[in-house]
Chain A
């Protein structure tokens, strides 16, 4: 079945790098997404990676994909207070191509 798992909380010091991890079960995943949710708002797409890629970089964001271990990570360099939010990992698969399955979200908090 389809399942996406994330740890619930992460706390980092301002200026350090944040690494948010995600594991998924469906090996037929096509696209994997990272969304950000700020308080009182909907989910906002941060970045995505196609399953035939290992890495994608976009400014302060780096996505790493390990297909063998079904592991996805999001690294945020030089974490700022504005990065405080809930980060969701999500997958789209061949078996349910129109559905995107979301993880439970990781709440990132920044300490001074």
Chain B
């Protein structure tokens, strides 16, 4: 399996623009997670899905952030409008159902908002 695939690897955009990050989870995984990593706040869970349904979005910073999972093999995280403080590395991860199933992470998208 190719693992969790994220695109793009790097995104540079200007403040106010819309940004869309993409994720393809590992085939067969029931859970999908979006994390954000910054030096100041470390790794933060933004939202996670189970069987394509959002379960907990309490970590989403504000209404400018939205996430969708239209099918089992694709998810997007959208920021509209983007702000410089959104600059971070955004990770997608997937896992099988619970128990000892670990998270498998993608290589992340490094977002820079100028």
Contact = CB atoms under 8 A, between A and B. Distances in A.
A98 B107 contact: no
Interface in A12-67: 31, 33, 35, 40-45, 48, 50
A104 B42 contact: yes
Chain A interface bracket (under 10, 10 to 19, 20 to 34, 35 or more): 20 to 34
Interface string A62-81: 00000000000000000000
A10 interface: no
Interface string B1-45: 000100000000000000000000000000100000000001101
A42 B4 contact: yes
Contacts of A88: 43
B102 A48 contact: yes
A103 to B, nearest CB: 8
Interface of A: 31, 33, 35, 40-45, 48, 50, 88, 92, 97-105
Interface of B: 4, 31, 42-43, 45, 48, 50, 55-56, 91, 93, 98-100, 102-108
